[in-house]
Amino acid sequence: METDFFYIILFVVAFLYASVGHGGASGYLALMALYGVAPQEMKPTALFLNLFVSLTSFIQYYRGKHFKKDIFIPIALASIPFAFLGGMLSIDDHLYKTILGILLLLPIIRFFFFKQVPDDRLVAPVKWISVLLGAIIGLLSGMIGIGGGIILSPILILLLWTNQKQTAAISAAFIFVNSLAGLGGMLTQGISLSSNMILYIVIAFSGGLLGAYMGSKKFNQEVLKYILATVLLMAAYKLLLTSA
């Protein structure tokens, strides 16, 4: 059940995620799971919030000329139909929390251990790898109710395809289209939304708007990444512990 503290954390999660180019679905899902929200309500709620926050984040990074359309398009075209398909699937609550907890470890690893990639080390993306990545991440995203940015981001950096700001711009756009596709798949099965959805959107959008602006213009992203990784680590620990 929501409390005033829930709404404060929701704002902070949206702020932190948007500041590094993410929509925040994994954070919203972890928060709702810890507050006992049912998975069938968690997934569409997180994706709706994702739409507003990721779009805000994308606009800020796009204005900063960090978006790489040629990298984004093949990944997104492969991911969209699979995210729709994943949105049509339902999984056991116990398995759901376990998978979510494991997926939270990906941005933690990225934020703690992946450093900025110098532009002179970047390499051209391989199209067939882009398509394969898009399909796999899209399916997982639709099943769990995330936009997929937490999976895509560390892979883009590991493959040396993008630097951090380019990764943030591509991830934000990827999260937006995947969230739309995942919601489309869920709508075919019927969805359940919180009665406080409008309040969720206002709070998350406000946090995302401020976070996207500060992250792209003002803040030291290294500090923000460590803060977000620490928060996610605690959430992953709780989810995996309670799923055991």
State the pLDDT at residue 120.
75
Mean pLDDT for all residues in the chain: 81
Predicted model pTM: 0.80
Average pLDDT over residues 19-29: 76
Cβ-based neighbours of 26, under 8 Å, separated by 6 or more = 46, 100, 103, 104, 107, 146, 150, 232
For the ranges 87-96, 128-137, 203-212, 231-240, the lowest mean pLDDT is seen at: 231-240
Instruction: Summarize pLDDT for 203-233 with one digit per residue, the tens.
Output: 988 888 888 777 666 656 566 667 667 767 7
SS (H, E, C) the chain: CCCHHHHHHHHHHHHHHHHCCCCCHHHHHHHHHHCCCCHHHHHHHHHHHHHHHHHHHHHHHHHCCCCCHHHHHHHHHHHHHHHHHHHCCCCCHHHHHHHHHHHHHHHHHHHHHCCCCCHHHCCCCCHHHHHHHHHHHHHHHHHHCCCCHHHHHHHHHHCCCCCHHHHHHHHHHHHHHHHHHHHHHHHCCCCCCCCCHHHHHHHHHHHHHHHHHHHHHCCCHHHHHHHHHHHHHHHHHHHHHHHC
What's the pLDDT at 198?
83
- CB-CB neighbours of 19 under 10 Å: 27
pLDDT higher than 70, residue 158? yes
Give the tens place of pLDDT for each residue, 74-85: 999 999 999 999
Question: Measured between alpha carbons, how far is 237 from 34 in angstroms, rounded to an integer?
Answer: 11
Spatial distance between the Cα atoms of 13 and 200, rounded to a whole number of angstroms: 12
Q: Check whether 167 has a pLDDT greater than 90.
A: no
Angstrom distance (rounded) from CA 244 to CA 58: 37
